[in-house]
Structure 1
């Protein structure tokens, strides 16, 4: 046979029904004769038959054993690690994760979510800045599909995982203040999700408690939440008289480190830089990046475990699982020194 062999081909060659072949191939053929079982298995091996997953699900009236995972940007080290955590749990539970990366496009997010729902998956893990529970429920409709939300929007209802972003921002601010920094610059995106807003609020509030006020025009640089965004912020940072920079995430911080290096600015001797997330790249840039650690892998495994509990128990109560954050001090921060950064006008 030149074309792909189907279960119907095996059934026809064996002289039995499709259901008989399906049950034998799935270890449920004990009620059939040994001769029939051997004939089916021999034909499977002879023609290299591989079961079609969707057809198998329909024949056996079983769920597809798939979970859908929607993230803003799979190329981000943060979401790459998050998905790795989901995959670890899925592999252990013999589930297949379908990963969709929407490139931070709200329309694409809804399109991908609709596609996942149409594939009769068992559950969803959704990380979205813009998608509300009302939108998700509308797309799911009458289908009974459990889902877990990732921490982008604190106002969401339903089961979700999140971290204490307010405390994370506060930890970063207090650490810089304790080092002796009084003049600081913040890098942040134009559009802020709720968790990012909380992160910034924790930072600003803690500075205020220590008698330090940031001017939103002078001390806040707005660029995309990415390495190119951090790199693009370099000129604005160089024009300031700051001794320390708090970048909204590690990607921005790493982009800024490159920009500063190209201008001959020594970190942390002339300028301290602190990020947020603790992505794996922090250990491999120079200087190694001080940051606020989110347990990214644990967030992924936690989301997957919560989803599985909802899949296995449709009456499971809604949960909000919070994960701790912590300061990780490396080489990119130090007390302000007499050696000033050259100020560019």
Structure 2
């Protein structure tokens, strides 16, 4: 800055006002400073500015599994919004590991990160209390004091199960995510409220596959060998649904003729499977956008919104389900 000031024949304070857009600066003086900055290729020292202001213009998004296509689609929306506000966006893949989350939180707070958007099934209330900057929960619900963006997971789970019944499925299994995830339990609750009082439901129709494709494939193969009567599967995310479809393929079970499969999320890869995947679609981009906008508002106003916003999901009917013909006497 001293070099710029000397070159433009102004004070360092004037250069600072031009760079930060604060205070009145004569237009001709401003032009000289800007020309000096350009000629000298001067860039403000972000580390020094962070130390001075206590702010970094950085926000972090925590996701549990970057290999799941749902999270890159969320991340794209968050990045688009943060770019609009001239913020730097940091994507942290936590692998659902509590220690990894804690390390990220400590490191980023030392670097004066301005806020967090957190998708987590493992983070605790105790950890959340240690975070001194704004937080938005995304795709999960922690507690009523923390702003969150989710979908109506209960209704989505219920509709998915009722849809399988409506197309003629008589034995419907459910593939769950991790029990620690609020969305898992709400989707399971929706399923259970439909099947609980049927005369065919068995606890062995429930599998916990941790939102993982390979796990879903292996466990579904075993379930279908033990229960060949199953003719419908509701998977709590699209990745597990694809795993279930792979399991059926290896066992020579035809989809949708012998087994109907419905997922939950609406990720774009569902259009590329064969057959294409029926799913309960979340407005993924809209959710990421709203979470980022809420975080920016909180950073700028320093007022924490105690808001829980719930988006609807909708049935996206594709080739992995088919209405069965009913024989008439």
- Scaled to the shorter chain, the TM-score interval is 0.7 to 0.9
Q: Which moved more, 1:114-123 or 1:274-283?
A: 114-123
Shift of 1:58: 4.5
- Per the alignment, residue 74 of structure 1 pairs with 66
Q: Which moved more, 1:10-19 or 1:183-192?
A: 10-19
Q: Is the 8 A contact 1:245 1:271 kept in 2?
A: yes
Paired with 2:239 and 2:196, the residues of 1 have a C-alpha distance of 26
Q: Which moved more, 1:320-329 or 1:90-99?
A: 90-99
Shift of 1:170: 0.3
Cα 1:335–1:212 change in 2 (3 A) is: farther
Paired with 2:171 and 2:98, the residues of 1 have a C-alpha distance of 37
Q: How does 1:209-220 map to 2 (within 5 A)?
A: 211-216=198-203, 218-220=204-206
What TM-score do you get using the length of structure 2 for normalisation? 0.87
Shift of 1:260: 2.5
Q: Is the 8 A contact 2:156 2:314 kept in 1?
A: yes
Paired with 1:284 and 1:214, the residues of 2 have a C-alpha distance of 32
Q: Is the 8 A contact 2:248 2:254 kept in 1?
A: yes
What TM-score do you get using the length of structure 1 for normalisation? 0.83
Secondary structure of 1:273's partner? strand
Q: Is the 8 A contact 1:154 1:195 kept in 2?
A: no
- Per the alignment, residue 221 of structure 2 pairs with 235
- Per the alignment, residue 281 of structure 2 pairs with 293
Residue 126 in 1 paired to residue 114 in 2?
no
Match of 1:51 among 41, 44, 54: 44
Secondary structure of 2:196's partner? helix
Q: Is the 8 A contact 1:102 1:109 kept in 2?
A: yes
Residue 109 in 1 paired to residue 95 in 2?
no
Match of 1:24 among 18, 41, 46: 18
Cα 1:334–1:245 change in 2 (3 A) is: same
Shift of 1:259: 3.0
Paired with 1:112 and 1:329, the residues of 2 have a C-alpha distance of 39
Paired with 1:170 and 1:99, the residues of 2 have a C-alpha distance of 33
Deviations 1:189-218 (A, max 9, x none): 454412211111110111235x254211x3
Q: Is the 8 A contact 1:66 1:98 kept in 2?
A: yes
Cα 1:73–1:207 change in 2 (3 A) is: same
Secondary structure of 2:315's partner? strand
- Per the alignment, residue 148 of structure 1 pairs with 136
Paired with 1:212 and 1:135, the residues of 2 have a C-alpha distance of 44
Secondary structure of 1:334's partner? coil
Match of 1:307 among 295, 303, 309: 295
Shift of 1:30: 5.9
Q: How does 1:3-14 map to 2 (within 5 A)?
A: 7=1, 10=4
Residue 83 in 1 paired to residue 69 in 2?
no
Paired with 1:20 and 1:110, the residues of 2 have a C-alpha distance of 42
Shift of 1:11: 5.1
Q: Is the 8 A contact 1:161 1:299 kept in 2?
A: yes
RMSD: 2.7
Paired with 1:134 and 1:122, the residues of 2 have a C-alpha distance of 20
Q: Is the 8 A contact 1:150 1:162 kept in 2?
A: yes
